Amino acid sequence: MDKRTTHFGYQDVPVEEKASRVADVFHSVATRYDVMNDLMSFGIHRLWKRLTIERAGVRPGHSVLDIAGGTGDLALKFSRLVGPSGKVVLADINASMLGMGRDKLLDHGAGGNVEYVQANAECLPFPDNTFDCITIAFGLRNVTDKDSALASMARILKPGGRLLVLEFSKPDNALLTKAYDEYSFRVLPRVGELVAGDADSYRYLAESIRMHPDQDTLKAMMESAGLERVEYTNLTGGIVALHRGIKL
């Protein structure tokens, strides 16, 4: 009997293998993750994340879950916004990334209202209706079963809660697409090799972006997961899109 397969970049791999291969990528780049993000995006990722925080509508007392939270860029600001009466959970499937995030948050004085959970986005270990806001920034494309992950997020959102998905997407301009392809497949792996000593991980990054659903497909997937009023904003010409849905 044929094994079920999924994509890992441009390769087809057995479903049960993808998570461990993605984990290997992030174990490899964890220590240089922030530097590489700044280098690859020319610092623009900070603005994309900032806009995500603005659209999250988080306020004191809220419970926020940051899935695939990586090195804690979003969680750090959320921890200030929710205050001591609120709670931020930084979740990541990868222990290396979670460790980096925890160290960074502690270094910045965020501690009392932040919890750390190593969890798979497809089966989040939280009760129904737990969080006022859930964010996943540059993480969904690495998830094996995106529909299960979105359904799991919708389940643990409180009624009225918001899910924000910040992810690479499809540029809306042919010229930009060409320039972006050249940059992703020629420049990124070389920068990755020079800075992080790992060209393959950054080749995977470029490939995984191309395999990720486009703006409208992801919007439909979020609606299928039970979210309503789903809308998206293209950022930097559609290189990145911010999707927002509400659980009613």
Partner 1 sequence: MALTPTLLLAGFETTLNALLSRDPAAPSRLRALAGSRVLLHLETPPLALALHYHPQGVDLLLIDEIEEDAFDAIVELSAETLGALASGAEMERLMFEGRLAVRGKVHLLEATRDLLLDLDLNWEAELARWLGDLPAHQLAEGLRGLSRWGLRTHQELCADVSEYVFEEARWLPGRHQLEALRESLTELDVATDRLEARLARLTRLLTAEQASP
- Residue span binding partner 1 (CB under 8 A) among the ranges 7-15, 76-84, 91-99, 132-140: 76-84
Considering only 109, 111, 160, 197, the residue that binds partner 1 (CB under 8 A) is: 109
Q: Does 83 help bind partner 1 (rule: CB under 8 A)? A: yes
In this complex, which beta carbon is closest to partner 1, that of residue 44 or of residue 191? 44
Q: Which is nearer to partner 1, 8 or 232 (CB)?
A: 232
- Pick between residue 31 and residue 233 the one whose CB is nearest to partner 1: 233
Full 3-state SS string of 7-47: EECCEEEEHHHHHHHHHHHHHHHHHHHHHHHHHHHCCHHHH
Nearer residue to partner 1 within complex by CB, 53 or 134:
53
Residue bearing tokens 């899109």: 241
Q: What is the CA radius of gyration of the chain?
A: 17
CA angle 242, 116, 245 (to 5 degrees): 25
* Contacting residue, 18, 45, 55, 247, with partner 1 by CB under 8 A: 55
Angle, CA of 234, 27 and 3, to the nearest 5°: 80
Q: Which residues pair with 116 in a beta bridge?
A: 90
3-state secondary structure of 73: helix
Rounded to a whole number of angstroms, the minimum distance from the CB of residue 111 to partner 1 is 13
Size, binding site for partner 1 by CB under 8 A: 22
Strands 5-8 and 11-14: antiparallel
111 binds partner 1 (CB under 8 A): no
Q: Does 41 bind partner 1 (CB under 8 A)?
A: no
Residue numbers at the binding site for partner 1 (CB under 8 A) = 44, 46-48, 50-51, 53-55, 57, 59-60, 77, 80-81, 83-84, 109, 233-236
